Structure 1
């Protein structure tokens, strides 16, 4: 398959790199600066799951337009509008658009841009970052990408995609319940990002405190209630399962939002916490912990803009 990865950052570079390492036909759509960097250094991955040094195929938004079989999209939400325009010349009638963004709101934006049938479901679990040399550093065993038709069907195109994804050093998993899994990931990441960024600590020290443990549990319950009120396809009692998962994370685990905040970079407050806060207001659901988290995040954003 002809696979286009939008961006060669921490997530797209990692999963795209694993596919390229396997021998798949991967091209990276990048900005001119990143293109020059990668032409000089190559695409380098330092990972507990195996290091690799790759020579990637690169294009920019000004390259000759032609459609790809699948476009893998892993930008931040605040980069999505620009990414849609950059990738538009490379999306054809039969192209699958596979987004790995956190949250849910981006799905409607992509459907509006490329059509209902073009957009499939996706999410990922991976702890990865770019170092000062542009190397992708992946530091934990978890490196999972989950994908599937939003209808739940196992179509011919999804089977073809599975053949391309199988056999890499990352875990590419086909799901027949991708909508539900995306909402579950949304609940998980909105809690993790909100809690760790609120308290400016890794998850370990927070959850060791009885008050911290309770704050995590209440936020999960608030978000589950909001999602249920909105008709989201979540599993009943999912907040309790996710609390167990959070309590099983490594002591030093940080969210990507917290890492971005530590570097005074933009964060996805509106896309993650803000979207659900708006849904809570529409439904009349009380969410005091979510309100507290969102206030902290907006104050951070105001301070960074000064």
Structure 2
């Protein structure tokens, strides 16, 4: 399959690089500035799972006409609209989109643009970043993509995709319940990013306090109640499962949203906490902790919007 990775940042660059390393036909759709940096410094991955260097095929939208069988979409939520426009001319007529964004609302936006039948479900679990020269740094054991048909079916196209993904140095896991897994990750990332951004601390010092433990549990329960009200396909005990998971994280663990705030960068607050708050208001559900978090992040964004 001809694979187009939209973005060559810390996430798309890493997984696309692993597919390229395996020998798959991979092209990266990038901005002009990223293209220049890659041409100057090369494409480099530094990872606990092994380093990789290459000179991959690069494409700037509109530069040339080329169609792809699958597009892996790994941009931030606030970059989605522009990414869709960049991708639109390059997706084959029967091509599929595999989004790795946090949250859930992007599925509807992609379906409106490309048609529901061309969108599959996906999520990724990885801790990676770019250094100053654009090298992808990946320092923890977790480097996983989970994907599958939203219907749960094992179609011919998903079998082809599975064949393309197999045998890489990263984990690509085919799921029969990808929608449920996306909602579970949405719950986890919204709680983790929200609580660490609210208290401006890694998760360890927060959970060391009895009040921190109560705040984590309360936030998980608020989010779970909202998801249940909109009939999200989540486990009944998911709040307890994720509470244990959060208590098992490294003491110094920070969320990517917290790191974005520390850098003065945009956040995905509207896509994560904001979307759930809209659902809560529509259902008449009180979510005071979630609303407090979103208010803080909204004020942060308003104070810095001129810088962006």
**What is the TM-score normalised by the length of structure 1?**
0.98
Cα distance in structure 1, aligned partners of 2:146 and 2:228: 23
> Does structure 2 conserve the Cα–Cα contact (< 8 Å) formed by 1:122 and 1:147?
yes
Matched with 2:290 is 290
Answer yes or no: is 1:275 the counterpart of 2:272: no
Cα distance in structure 2, aligned partners of 1:2 and 1:238: 37
1:88-107 to 2 correspondences below 5 Å = 88-107=88-107
Cα distance in structure 1, aligned partners of 2:37 and 2:187: 36
* CA displacement at 1:66 relative to structure 2: 2.6
SS in 2 for 1:35: helix
> Does structure 2 conserve the Cα–Cα contact (< 8 Å) formed by 1:103 and 1:272?
yes
Cα distance in structure 1, aligned partners of 2:158 and 2:243: 32
> Does structure 2 conserve the Cα–Cα contact (< 8 Å) formed by 1:93 and 1:118?
no
Cα distance in structure 2, aligned partners of 1:238 and 1:167: 32
SS in 1 for 2:138: strand
* CA displacement at 1:191 relative to structure 2: 0.4
Matched with 1:85 is 85
Superposed CA deviations along residues 18-44 of structure 1, whole A, max 9, x for unmatched, are: 111111110000011111111121111
* CA displacement at 1:129 relative to structure 2: 0.8
* CA displacement at 1:262 relative to structure 2: 0.8
Matched with 1:58 is 58
Matched with 2:246 is 246
* CA displacement at 1:305 relative to structure 2: 2.4
Cα distance in structure 2, aligned partners of 1:218 and 1:237: 14
> Does structure 2 conserve the Cα–Cα contact (< 8 Å) formed by 1:72 and 1:98?
yes
SS in 2 for 1:169: coil
SS in 1 for 2:81: helix
Cα distance in structure 2, aligned partners of 1:48 and 1:254: 19
Answer yes or no: is 1:186 the counterpart of 2:186: yes
Matched with 1:169 is 169
Cα distance in structure 1, aligned partners of 2:286 and 2:46: 44
* CA displacement at 1:162 relative to structure 2: 0.6
Deviates more, 1:1-10 or 1:292-301: 292-301
SS in 1 for 2:201: coil
Matched with 1:261 is 261
SS in 2 for 1:33: helix
1:1-306 to 2 correspondences below 5 Å = 1-305=1-305
* CA displacement at 1:114 relative to structure 2: 0.3
> Does structure 1 conserve the Cα–Cα contact (< 8 Å) formed by 2:219 and 2:290?
yes
Runs of 4+ with deviation above 3 angstroms: none
RMSD: 0.9
Cα distance in structure 1, aligned partners of 2:95 and 2:58: 19
Cα distance in structure 1, aligned partners of 2:143 and 2:206: 24
Runs of 5+ in structure 1 lacking a partner?
A: none
Cα distance in structure 2, aligned partners of 1:250 and 1:167: 29
Cα distance in structure 2, aligned partners of 1:151 and 1:194: 30
Cα distance in structure 2, aligned partners of 1:249 and 1:276: 24
SS in 1 for 2:94: coil
Cα distance in structure 1, aligned partners of 2:205 and 2:51: 31
**What is the TM-score normalised by the length of structure 2?**
0.98
* CA displacement at 1:63 relative to structure 2: 2.3
SS in 2 for 1:93: strand
SS in 2 for 1:253: coil
